[in-house]
Amino acid sequence: MSPDESGATGRAETTGTAPTSGSAPSSTRPVIDPFASRSEPGAFGRMLASELLLVLGRRRNQLLVALVAAVPILLGVVLWVVNDSAYAGQGPGFISRVSENGLFLVITSLFMCLPFLLPLVVSVASGDAVAGEAGAGTLRYLLLVPVRRGQLLLVKALGALVQVMLAVLILAAVAFLTGGILFGFGDLTLLSGQSVGVGAGIGRMLGVTAYVAMSLTGLIALGLFFSTLTEVPIGAMAATLVATIVSTVLDSIPQLSTIHPGLLTHHWFDFAEFLRFSVSSDVIWQGVWVQAAWVAIFGSLAWARFTTADITS
């Protein structure tokens, strides 16, 4: 068998099409290029389902989500233990108000996890998305699936997004249950001193949770871009975390106030707007548009890099 015939036969077997008797000679037989742009109906959905099962079933990811979920439990138990001591009512931010209303445990837990722990989840989820496959040598085999490279990248992005959103939701849900069990629920006292009922307070907690989840989308896109640049996932994870730290540092320098509104982390704590009697939609939308800009820019860069890169591993 000539090299051309063996190569064509190997590609046919790889894509699940075996040569049949009476087929055209190898010189006229169409060659199946595994790296060509093509898409088979239903392949995208199957790949997405497989990716979600892989992401959610990976022990490392489960351990990381469990670590996030442990924060409100640990915080709630500590505050419950010291509730009748001399330390009751003390603490920064919303911590001093948790013992008055369990709903504040949701805000406090998100407030404490947002600067580092949640970005850590994002860096692991997005930094490993493409670089992990490349480092393990499985990325080129994924390209044999009949989906376009852009669709494969979208699958990886959605997998990272689901993992991060799930971590935020579990964090908020565990904080809600822990706060209700240990401290109970009551009317929510807002920053302006006015109070709203329990139902309205729960609605505002949902708004806070949704805003925090939205605030991480720009970092996911940035981490995905870093992941397309390397075959070493730990490097992409580290770069994503460093970008978060750099943005935070730049945001704390008054001389750079001109660029503050466009920084990745500048609007992260604007979820406090949901604790005002009249929520300013302008403030909320500023945060949304900044994250949308980061997603658009670094999502496009990730797509441009991934769809044109020479995949060798």
Confidence at residue 137, expressed as pLDDT on a 0 to 100 scale = 85
Confidence at residue 227, expressed as pLDDT on a 0 to 100 scale = 96
Alpha-carbon span 267 to 260, nearest angstrom? 9
Alpha-carbon span 36 to 33, nearest angstrom? 5
Average confidence (pLDDT) per 10 residues, the chain, 313 residues: 45 43 43 48 86 92 94 93 60 71 93 94 94 88 86 94 96 96 91 89 96 97 96 95 96 95 95 91 96 97 91 67
Q: Has residue 21 been placed in a domain?
A: no
Instruction: Name residue 196's beta-bridge partners.
Output: 188
| Residues 6+ away with beta carbon under 8 Å from 171 | 68, 69, 71, 72, 109, 110, 113, 118
Q: How many domains are contained in the chain? A: 1
Stretch (H or E) spanning 195: strand 195-196
Q: Confirm if 312 and 231 have CB atoms less than 8 A apart.
A: no
Q: Has residue 11 been placed in a domain?
A: no
| Residues 6+ away with beta carbon under 8 Å from 12 | 18, 19, 32
Q: Has residue 22 been placed in a domain?
A: no
Q: Has residue 141 been placed in a domain?
A: yes
Q: Has residue 31 been placed in a domain?
A: no
Confidence at residue 27, expressed as pLDDT on a 0 to 100 scale = 42
Confidence at residue 312, expressed as pLDDT on a 0 to 100 scale = 67
pLDDT single digits (tens) 217-244? 999 999 999 999 999 999 999 999 999 9
Task: Report the amino acid identity of residue 148.
Answer: R
Q: Has residue 68 been placed in a domain?
A: yes
Residue labelled with tokens 């742009």: 37
pLDDT single digits (tens) 249-304? 999 999 999 999 999 999 999 999 999 989 999 999 999 999 999 999 999 999 99
Task: Report the amino acid identity of residue 104.
Answer: F
Q: Has residue 32 been placed in a domain?
A: no
Cα 193 to chain centroid, rounded: 34
Range of the domain at 123: 42-308
Which candidate, 270, 274, 228, 231, places its Cα nearest to that of 103? 274
Q: Confirm if 53 and 32 have CB atoms less than 8 A apart.
A: no
